[in-house]
Amino acid sequence: DAGVIQSPRHEVTEMGQEVTLRCKPISGHNSLFWYRQTMMRGLELLIYFNNNVPIDDSGMPEDRFSAKMPNASFSTLKIQPSEPRDSAVYFCASREWGGTDTQYFGPGTRLTVL
Amino acid sequence: TQLLEQSPQFLSIQEGENLTVYCNSSSVFSSLQWYRQEPGEGPVLLVTVVTGGEVKKLKRLTFQFGDARKDSSLHITAAQPGDTGLYLCARGGNQFYFGTGTSLTVIP
């Protein structure tokens, strides 16, 4: 099995630009999570989906952040416009809802906003 | 709000030493998980504990869930360089909240 796939692995952009991060969950998993990790704040849950429906987006920092899950095999996290304080590693994770509670993380996208 | 406090934040030890890291909260958990994260990768689940007082062993790693289900510890016996990484505890259930993490370095 391929595991959770994220792209790109690294993104460097300038302040004000739009950034789109992509995630393909493990086939058959019906829950998907987006996290952000920084040295200062650790690993923070941004939003999670069950069966493609956003359940809780209270962790999304601002309106500049948006996430979609158009189908069971794809999700995006968009930042528009980006700011230097958005620099972080963004992780996507998936799990089988009602299963063992085990989340499987992707390798992350390291975002640098200049 | 930090729901899970981990200590110590950083730990550097020699190969062969033993160590214990802690995860504490004022809230009761239905379950608690421990993850290890290596540089450049996502966290990987090590264990889930559910019952108060539960002890689980994974080779040289021993995990304990407090009787009141508010705290947990991870003990590593005879640490090896391969144990180096960031150790995170997380509250299970419908959502996942992660602790502040303990960064462990095992020096050969």
Residue B47: what pLDDT? 93
Query: Which carries the bigger pLDDT value, residue B93 or residue A89?
Result: A89
pLDDT digits (tens, 9 = 90+) for B63-90: 999 999 899 999 999 999 999 999 999 9
pLDDT band at residue A99 under the 50/70/90 scheme: low
Q: Is the pLDDT of residue A67 over 90?
A: yes
Share of residues in chain A with pLDDT > 90 (%): 83
pLDDT band at residue B26 under the 50/70/90 scheme: confident
Contacts of B43 in chain A (CB under 8 A): 43, 91, 105
pLDDT digits (tens, 9 = 90+) for A81-96: 999 999 999 999 999 8
**Cβ within 8 Å, pair A107-B48:** no
Contacts of B44 in chain A (CB under 8 A): 105
Q: What is the DSSP string of B19-77?
A: EEEEEE-SS--S-EEEEEE-TTS--EEEEEE-STT-EEEETTEEEEE-TTSSEEEEEES
Supply φ then ψ for residue A65, to 5 degrees.
-100, 135
Contacts of B88 in chain A (CB under 8 A): 43
Tell which phi-psi region holds residue A65, choosing left (phi > 0), alpha (psi between -120 and 50) or beta.
Answer: beta
Among candidates A33, A42, A105 on the partner chain, residue whose Cβ is nearest the Cβ of B100: A42
Instruction: Give the residue among B45, B81, B40, B46 at the shortest CA–CA distance from B62.
Output: B46
